[in-house]
Amino acid sequence: MLDIKVIRANPEMVKENMRKKFQDERVPLVDEVIALDKELREIQTEGDQLRSKRNTTSKEIGKLMGAGKRDEAEVIKDEVRNIGERLTQLEADLVEKQARYKEIMFTIPNIMDDSVPIGKDDTENVVIETHGDISAKDFEVPYHADIMTNLGGLDLESARKTSGSGFYYLLGDVARIHSAVISYAREFMIAKGFTYVIPPYMIREEVVSGVMSFEEMDNMMYKIEGEDLYLIGTSEHSTIGRYMDSITDKDQLPQTLTSFSPCFRKEVGAHGIEERGVYRVHQFEKQEMVVLCDPKDSKEWFDKLYKYSVELFLSLDIPVQVIECCSGDLADLKVKSVDVEAWSPRQGKYFEVCSASNLGEAQARRLKIRVAGEEGNYYPHTLNNTVVAPPRMLIAFFENNVNADGSVNIPEALRPFMGGQTIINPK
């Protein structure tokens, strides 16, 4: 959410930012919210004046009654009554206009960083880095679900019976690899100085609306029927929510956290053949990076976060590329975002496994997260990035580490979490 002062002072900048995101239909909202802001301030001013007048006038009634001037007192009572009726009208108008004001303010997108490339959708994202060897294997790499099944580690059919499509059972060494990856990612981030966090797996709507757009909420979140609770789609949401309505001393920044949780997502829409298996599922586990920092350190932390992902994937013998999200592919709360994509030998292309985002002060402003500085309170910047999110990253893991006979090599980094095992053989 932008500061209304920024919108008042620079309406054309805000409109141009919308146009660069190809949201021309939203441009009129800028003028509407400026007009609403003016009306709300006028209502507040009139209300304050009327309440002050009512208090003063009410005192006069007692004096007049005490002096036996009943007729004059009745006239003033009518005046006080009229003031009360007007205040009731103003308060109703205030509630209605505040609701529309909040709706628009939560809809106007964040101001993008100047470095964000302009493009309509993800087809115009820009590759900025590539890492690792993607030389072709001398055999045809099987479909990831077949690799995992041949290892005795994946059962989709039983999951369809118990839970429906988009769920899975992981078994044996495949399940152990899943847990090993999470454990390795946790220790990897702790070694970078991050504090390990296990957050709540359900959050209230106030937190959900503070960390994401309404459209994302509808497309992603599962609501608990009859309660003000949602299952989290990522641990970032509840981890950031921990700071809601708080003031942190400046010398306590940055706050660097690595959070683990199961994640639950609707994954609305139809998807292609390559997204079957365990690519796009309703339940998964994820290790996340979350940072609250001083605005001046925001860019430096953004670069650090996505480079940690690159380092981790390379340590698992998985080549990656980094792409910058263009304006049309950038979520409304984000200032800047890059995706880390892993190489798929089977498909001969990269696919997304991590997404690093700088949200500026948008989340902090919505959730009232503040920092106590020498010259007063201000909003920190919030950033997040995926460390690993199996089972999707397991697709890249198994495809890049599979051998011609169906066995899978275990990279050295994971062996301590697999009892020293170096290879998984087909069952």
338 in any annotated domain: yes
Q: Are strands 255-264 and 283-293 parallel, antiparallel or unpaired?
A: antiparallel
| Structural domain count of the chain | 2
Whole-number average pLDDT of the chain: 92
For residue 245, the model assigns a pLDDT of 96
H-run or E-run covering 218:
helix 214-220
In sequence order, the β-bridge partners of residue 403 are none
Contacts by residues 230-234 (CB-CB < 8 Å, ≥ 24 positions apart): 230/202, 230/203, 230/204, 230/205, 231/201, 231/202, 231/264, 232/199, 232/200, 232/201, 232/202, 232/203, 232/261, 232/263, 232/264, 233/263, 233/264, 233/265, 234/261, 234/263, 234/286, 234/288, 234/384
Q: What is the CATH number of the domain that holds 410?
A: 3.30.930.10
Is there a single domain that holds both residue 16 and residue 63?
yes
H-run or E-run covering 339:
strand 336-344
Distances (CA, A) of 392 to 79, 186, 317: 69, 17, 16
Q: CB burial class (10 A; 0-12, 13-18, 19+) of residue 268?
A: exposed
For residue 273, the model assigns a pLDDT of 44
Domain termination site, one of 105, 131, 156: 105
For residue 269, the model assigns a pLDDT of 54
- Residues with Cβ within 8 Å of 269's Cβ and at least 6 positions away in sequence, in order, are none
For residue 54, the model assigns a pLDDT of 84
Is there a single domain that holds both residue 246 and residue 135?
yes
250 in any annotated domain: yes
Q: How would you classify residue 156: left for phi > 0, otherwise alpha for psi between -120 and 50, otherwise beta?
A: alpha
Is there a single domain that holds both residue 61 and residue 129?
no
For residue 217, the model assigns a pLDDT of 74
Distances (CA, A) of 30 to 33, 106, 170, 330, 333: 5, 12, 50, 19, 16
- 3-state SS class at 216: helix
H-run or E-run covering 76:
helix 70-105
Q: Are strands 381-388 and 169-170 parallel, antiparallel or unpaired?
A: unpaired
44 in any annotated domain: yes
Is there a single domain that holds both residue 100 and residue 147?
no
Q: What is the pTM of this model?
A: 0.87
Is there a single domain that holds both residue 213 and residue 162?
yes
Q: How would you classify residue 164: left for phi > 0, otherwise alpha for psi between -120 and 50, otherwise beta?
A: left
Is there a single domain that holds both residue 163 and residue 221?
yes
Is there a single domain that holds both residue 93 and residue 155?
no
260 in any annotated domain: yes
**Rounded Cα–Cα distance for residues 148 and 145 (Å):** 5
Contact 313, 105 (CB under 8 A): no
What's the N-to-C CA distance of the chain in angstroms? Answer: 53
| Strand positions, DSSP E, 37-190 | 126-131, 154-155, 169-170
117 in any annotated domain: no
Is there a single domain that holds both residue 72 and residue 169?
no
Is there a single domain that holds both residue 27 and residue 138?
no
Domain termination site, one of 42, 71, 105: 105
For residue 66, the model assigns a pLDDT of 67
For residue 367, the model assigns a pLDDT of 95
The DSSP secondary-structure symbol of 135 reads P
pLDDT tens for 366-385 read: 999 999 988 899 999 999 99
Tens of each residue's pLDDT in the chain, 427 residues: 789 999 999 999 999 999 999 999 999 999 999 999 999 999 999 999 988 888 887 777 667 666 777 777 777 788 888 888 899 999 999 999 999 999 999 999 999 999 999 999 999 999 999 999 988 888 999 999 999 999 999 999 999 999 988 899 999 999 999 999 999 999 999 999 999 999 999 999 999 988 987 677 777 889 999 999 999 999 999 999 999 999 999 999 999 999 999 999 987 554 554 456 888 889 999 999 999 999 999 999 999 999 999 999 999 999 999 999 999 999 999 999 999 999 999 999 999 999 999 999 999 999 999 999 888 999 999 999 999 998 889 999 999 999 999 999 999 999 999 999 999 999 8
Radius of gyration of the chain (CA): 28
Tokens of 57: 């006038």
Is there a single domain that holds both residue 345 and residue 245?
yes
| Strand positions, DSSP E, 66-105 | none
51 in any annotated domain: yes
- How many C-beta atoms lie closer than 10 Å to residue 91's C-beta? 12
Domain termination site, one of 72, 105, 138: 105
For residue 152, the model assigns a pLDDT of 95
For residue 212, the model assigns a pLDDT of 84
Q: What is the CATH number of the domain that holds 21?
A: 1.10.287.40
**Rounded Cα–Cα distance for residues 419 and 364 (Å):** 43
Is there a single domain that holds both residue 271 and residue 384?
yes
Is there a single domain that holds both residue 130 and residue 195?
yes
pLDDT tens for 152-208 read: 999 999 999 999 888 999 999 999 999 999 999 999 999 999 999 999 999 999 999
115 in any annotated domain: no
Beta sheet of 246-249, edge-to-edge order: 246-249, 369-373, 376-378
Residues spanned by the domain of 43 = 4-105
396 in any annotated domain: yes
